[in-house]
Amino acid sequence: MDAFEDIYRRHGESVFRFVWRLVGRRHIAEEVTADVFVSLLQHKDSVQVDQLPAWLFTVARHRAMDYWRRNAVEDRFTRTLPADPVVPPADAATLALFEHRALKPVHRACLKLRYGSGMSVAEVAKATGLSEVQVKGYLQYARERLRADLMTDPR
């Protein structure tokens, strides 16, 4: 087989244009084209030079079909997700934990937003103006304090 660089120079652009027409997105076409040539490297011993253009286009077509199959599966899964997940309201015992005497106001706020309102760490960080690392630290500290205090507190 010819040198890989020579093969890529001769066929790379045409494979890319072919894939771009199949998938309709430039960045996906670039990825698929790269996969095609990686596959060529992996199968260099079994691919004959006279098979090359056809072999490359066949692999490109199969990879493009794989992309559309994955895309269809993701779309089906996305359609089954609820549009706005419902967070169950916190019960009285949970609300009492948020007001525990061992916690500072910043810990209470992070706990209430994360577990009371069902926000993600990123959402809590955005709502409080803290960094995600700070929010994670405050949540970890609050959980440890509650755990330690509740294990020793007979109430």
pLDDT tens readout for residues 92-141: 666 677 777 778 889 888 988 888 888 889 999 999 999 999 999 999 99
Please give the residue that has the higher pLDDT: either 82 or 107.
107
Joined together, the tokens standing for residue 127 give 């709502």
Same domain, 64 and 104: no
Assigned domain for 99 exists = yes
Q: Using alpha carbons only, what angle is made at residue 152 by residues 146 and 154, rounded to the nearest 5 degrees?
A: 105
pLDDT of 12 reads 92
Assigned domain for 85 exists = no
Residue identified by tokens 């006279």 is 50
Query: Number of folded domains in the chain?
Result: 2
Same domain, 12 and 70: yes
Residue 154: pLDDT above 80?
Answer: no
Assigned domain for 73 exists = yes
Please give the residue that has the higher pLDDT: either 14 or 86.
14
**Full domain range(s) for residue 57:** 4-80
Residue identified by tokens 């525990």 is 100
Render pLDDT for 40-77 as a digit per residue (tens, 0 to 9): 988 888 888 888 889 999 999 999 999 999 888 888 87
Same domain, 40 and 99: no
- Point out the domain boundary residue: 48, 80, 112: 80
The backbone region for 139, taken as left when phi is positive above 0, alpha when psi lies in -120 to 50, beta otherwise, is alpha
- Point out the domain boundary residue: 80, 110, 133: 80
